[in-house]
A and B are shown apart, each in its own frame.
Chain A
Amino acid sequence: MKADAPPKLSFWRKSLNARSALLYLFPSILLFAVFIFYPMFRTIYLSFFLTDQQGAAALFVGLENYAYLFESKEFRNSIKATVLFVLYTVPTGVIIALFLALIANERLKGIGFFRTVYSSTMGISVAASSVVWLFLFHPSIGMFNRLLNVMNLPGVQWLLDPDWALVSISISTIWMNIGFSFLILLGGLQNIDEYLYESARIDGAGYWYQLRRITIPMLSPTLFFIITISLINAFQTFGQVDILTKGGPSQATNLIVYSIYREAFVNYQFGTASAQAVFLFICILIVTILQFKLGEKKVHYQ
């Protein structure tokens, strides 16, 4: 014990590790501070103000931006569209990816090829996918209406009909997300101990029994994770809306991030746009906290 050593020196020495650690952490901390923490606080701050064209706070209005939003038909419509979009895309997307992961997890010749194909949509950007889907949805020369035509059914105005536009955006989004979800779920399946299946087989358990009693329970942390990520991704959707519908027709596809984008960078209403951004932040925060709370026991983060 060196209790009588000069306290200054000992603090300097004791903090040696802390100082060098901070040196290594400095780039991350600086960048997080400038590009995540500061702008988050700034967004919250701006949401209480009316702003000028340069985005500077001009007039304090308290909660009026929020009050205005929740009264505005446009924003309520945007929330409704976002919620519907989540409902259309998340369950279907996860189920399709799970199906693909299950059939691609069998030990068969050439399975690597199929895995590559199923994960391929992950390598295709939102902009590229959207352009391709724009063509598939084309009212006269698009593939969907040609197919309907062949079956003697009337064509659908996929992107122009307010009743269909959100469904169309959802279909294309599900396709875009298949690759990532598939890859994560396949990883989860491969982590399941082969031993479990062997003993089940010895007991004479069939495919469906194994799926219900072993695969799904063992995969639940991964499923849980991919559902959360899909939810968050759905809230953050932008590119496909911008290219396929521009939020229309009659705002049927004006998802929340698109709405923020328009409010800020088209209408220059940075105050109300910030209030919408805070709302988005709270929604995603709730999803994340739910994930932490519910997934705590099964999923480890450290």
Chain B
Amino acid sequence: MMMSTPKKILFYILLVISAFLVFFPVLYAFMISFMSGGEILQGKFFPESIHFDNYVKVFDRLPLMNYLINSFVVSFGVMLGQLVVCSLAAYAFVFIPFKGRDFIFFLFISTMMIPWEATMIPNFFTIQKLDWMNTYQGLTVPFFALAFGTFLLRQHFKTIPKELHEAAEVAGLGKFAFFWRVILPVSKTSLVTLGAYGFLTTWNMYLWPLLVTSTDQVRTVQIGLKQLQSQEVATEWGVVMAGVIVVIIPTLLLLFAGQKQLQKGLTQGALK
């Protein structure tokens, strides 16, 4: 359908104003990350010059590099763990008919009704008893199993033609070989969607890392931001904003690259 020109202009105006309002906080933070203390006090929007002093400082003040590596390790860990655990479960739900499937399916659904915050106290003690405080395991393993991820993959597995399964059985392919060599390769897009989702949510996790890290050793960038903000608030906002920008760049890039995919996947996993 062709839109009339005045209508088009109206839509563009709405789109541009909304984009500016939505993106303003990030844009402002970006500008501030290049400003000196004086400029910030004057209330400028554009920095006088582009210099990276604040970025150098933020890496000096905090073991930020260390935190970034930790966040990457933890996010990748959860991502891989979720992909393995969820795809195995989804495979069983779709391709292996067995008694009690409805019951197990119900168990999976019921996990979605339990808010994670309602279980955090015993979970904290479990991690303590396992001696997993300040370890990567403590930050990752509790999040490997995910009902939402299982359903997302199950949804995709169900679209795989039954003939493929039959052909594999005729060819004498075992269950695991079928899963590994046929199902996973044809489900790449859903796996990527779930992977991106897992990475994004783990990177942004706040409360759990706050609970199970007490030293800088495995601390993640989100906790780094909290430290930075409480250290610097009164004085150097430029340094704090430089920290913010460093922390959001990886996830923003991931989101920009995978926005379409993520949108499709989330809507499917949520609604079908």
A interface residues, Cβ below 8 angstroms from B: 15, 17-18, 20-22, 24-25, 27-32, 34-40, 42-43, 46, 54-55, 99-100, 103-104, 106-108, 111, 113-129, 131-136, 141, 143, 146, 175, 178-179, 183-184, 186-188, 191, 197, 201, 221-222, 225, 229, 232, 235-236, 238-239, 242-243, 257, 260-261, 264-265, 270, 273-274, 277-278, 280-281, 284-285, 288, 299-301
**Complex contact B119–A280 (CB within 8 A):** no
**Complex contact B255–A120 (CB within 8 A):** yes
Among A30, A32, A232: residue with most chain B CB under 10 A: A32
**Other contacts beyond A125-B248, A225-B271: 10, CB < 8 A:** A25-B92, A28-B108, A40-B118, A114-B15, A128-B225, A187-B264, A242-B210, A264-B121, A277-B119, A299-B271
Chain A residues near B117: list those with CB within 8 A.
Answer: 236, 238, 257, 260, 277, 280
**Complex contact A103–B14 (CB within 8 A):** yes
Known: A106-B3, A125-B251. A280 touches B118 (CB 8 A): yes
Interface residue tally for chain B (C-beta within 8 Å): 95
**Complex contact B121–A25 (CB within 8 A):** no
**Complex contact A119–B255 (CB within 8 A):** yes
**Complex contact B264–A127 (CB within 8 A):** no
Majority SS at the chain B contact face: helix
**Complex contact A28–B241 (CB within 8 A):** no
**Complex contact B125–A55 (CB within 8 A):** yes
**Complex contact A131–B225 (CB within 8 A):** yes
| Shortest beta-carbon distance from A44 to chain B in Å | 9
Stretch from B24-32, B47-55, B161-169 at the A interface: B24-32
B interface residues, Cβ below 8 angstroms from A: 1, 3, 8, 11-12, 14-15, 18-19, 22-23, 25-26, 28-29, 32, 40-41, 43, 84-86, 88-89, 91-92, 96-101, 104, 107-109, 111-126, 141-142, 144-145, 150-151, 175, 179, 200, 203-204, 206-207, 210-211, 222-223, 225-226, 228-229, 233, 237, 240-241, 243-244, 247-248, 251-252, 254-256, 259, 262-264, 266-267, 270-272
